[in-house]
């Protein structure tokens, strides 16, 4: 089975990009696209990126600040080997401090793996598909750990393009927290890249 990785990012949100690339290394093909979502819709960029990866059976689509442990990646790949799923969706854990996550956890289950010829994104990370797998694997999400000025830039951009995304981001940033250590595997990726 041929597996690809598609990572989309913009200049201001690159702090974790190299660590995410290491997290998802070892697959058959990687496509990293730099884009500004104020100029081009996120779903357009995702669809264009997937088009270039149609020779893959499945494609990981993490954001440039999302991690999945290697053992969990293998678990997901094992689950899709018979190709009966179009997408895999996972729970997300939002780190808001180095060893603290947003509480309660969001119900949001973003798409993280797709069969590129069978999925079409219509709104950011929302897509048309028919056969989902809802996995118990966690996506470790670091978008709230950027420096304050980067967070402010992100909020300003979200406010320009989508009120709901802006409000969701504020809700996560201002949520109560509960302790949760960053998994050692992810710490190693971050340490290697001095994040």
CATH architecture of 3-192: Alpha-Beta Complex (3.90)
- Per-residue pLDDT for the chain (195 aa), expressed as one digit of tens each? 999 999 998 878 889 999 999 999 999 999 999 987 767 888 999 999 999 999 999 999 999 999 999 999 999 999 999 888 999 999 999 999 888 999 888 888 999 999 999 999 998 889 999 999 999 999 999 999 988 999 998 888 888 877 888 898 889 999 999 999 999 999 999 987 666
The pLDDT of residue 195 is 62
Q: Is 73 left (phi over 0), alpha (psi -120 to 50) or beta?
A: alpha
The pLDDT of residue 165 is 84
The pLDDT of residue 42 is 85
């Amino acid at each position: 089975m041929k597996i690809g990785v598609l990572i989309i990012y913009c200049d201001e949100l690159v702090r974790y990009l190299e660590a995410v690339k290491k997290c998802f290394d070892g697959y058959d093909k990687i496509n990293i696209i730099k884009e500004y979502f104020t100029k081009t819709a996120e779903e357009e960029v995702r669809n264009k990126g997937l088009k270039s990866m149609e020779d893959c059976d499945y494609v990981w689509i993490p954001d440039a600040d999302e991690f999945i442990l290697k053992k969990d990646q293998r678990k997901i790949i094992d689950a899709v080997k018979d190709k009966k799923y179009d997408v895999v969706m996972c729970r997300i854990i939002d780190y808001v401090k180095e060893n603290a996550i947003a509480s309660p956890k969001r119900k949001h289950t973003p798409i993280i793996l797709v069969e590129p010829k069978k999925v079409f994104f219509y709104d950011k990370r929302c897509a048309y598909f028919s056969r989902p797998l809802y996995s118990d694997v966690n996506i470790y999400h670091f978008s709230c750990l950027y420096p304050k000025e980067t967070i402010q830039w992100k909020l300003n951009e979200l406010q320009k393009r989508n009120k709901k995304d802006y409000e969701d981001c504020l809700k996560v940033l201002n949520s109560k927290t509960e302790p949760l250590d960053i998994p050692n595997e992810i710490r190693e990726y971050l340490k290697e890249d001095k994040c």
